[in-house]
Amino acid sequence: MKVVSTSKSHGGVQGVYSHASEVCACDMTFAVFVPPQAKDGPVPVLWYLSGLTCTHANVMDKGEYRRVAAELGIVIVCPDTSPRGSDIPDEKDNWQFGCGAGFYLDATQEPYARNYRMYTYVTAELPALVAANFDVDMSRQSIFGHSMGGHGALTIALKNPERFKSCSAFAPITQPSTAGWSRPALEKYLGSDEKSWRPYDATLLIEDGCRFDAFLVDQGTADGFLQDGLRPWLLDEACKKAGIELALRMQEGYDHSYNFISTFMEDHLKWHSRHLA
């Protein structure tokens, strides 16, 4: 692991790091905020997964999480959204696919299968690296994310309920297998057999028997992607049928931007902190 940069913030340290990823077959960059409480012993970990077109830097620069994370004593880990590099297969004119749009899945179709393995990266390789290099309590982990990252957080929590104490999302893609802006990506990464898409669709995972104790979801009513891409009512319907507790909060007048995310970031951090305690 290489240190790209570190900076003191609210008594803690905001760092950016890189490493050679075996899973994604390229160099990967990620951000970690370590609160001041870490000097006294291991602290819990909260994973934040970013959305389409983002890197680790978007939430780090605009998410406004450090003050509250420092108060609560929580490490915040922010992975990148996809493999990157000049030799990584990509569609440079398509913001919904390729670099910046890994969808937190393990691709099976060529030429993407070698690099686009973000599910394994986020659930196996990066956690091992974080555990080896930071003073964290890996028995206390939670996960959240925005948009594509909200989709990733929901699906990862549903498939790993024993690992995560809590899961929340800002404006998640709730059913990517039928949404116009995510369905083409799933087909390119996973092939035309839609059965292979089900492990990466929160509503279908619930339909197939996966369970998680409770979710918190914030969604802006002025979000331009609400009707076609996000559709939180589909998650609400799936959770009601399965008996999963879902706090779906429709926030009047808010859009899809980090102005929306930063407004409710403190709520989410405090919600996770209660579960991590």
Identify whether 223 is a catalytic site residue: yes
Active site residue 256: yes
Non-local (6+) Cβ contacts of 192 within 8 A are none
Q: Which of 56, 146, 256, 275 is catalytic?
A: 256
Residue 189, CB-side half-sphere exposure with 13 Å CA sphere: 30
DSSP-based helix, strand, coil % in the chain, nearest 5: 35, 25, 35
- Tokens found for residue 209: 């028997």
Establish whether 147 is a catalytic residue.
Answer: yes
- Measured CA to CA in angstroms, residue 57 lies from 100, 184, 212, 217 at distances of 12, 26, 29, 22
Radius of gyration from C-alpha coordinates of the chain: 17
Give the span between the Cα atoms of 17 and 213, in whole angstroms: 33
* Choice among 50, 82, 142, 147 that is catalytic: 147
Choose the catalytic residue: 166, 223, 272, 275.
Answer: 223
Q: Which residues are identified as catalytic? A: 147, 223, 256
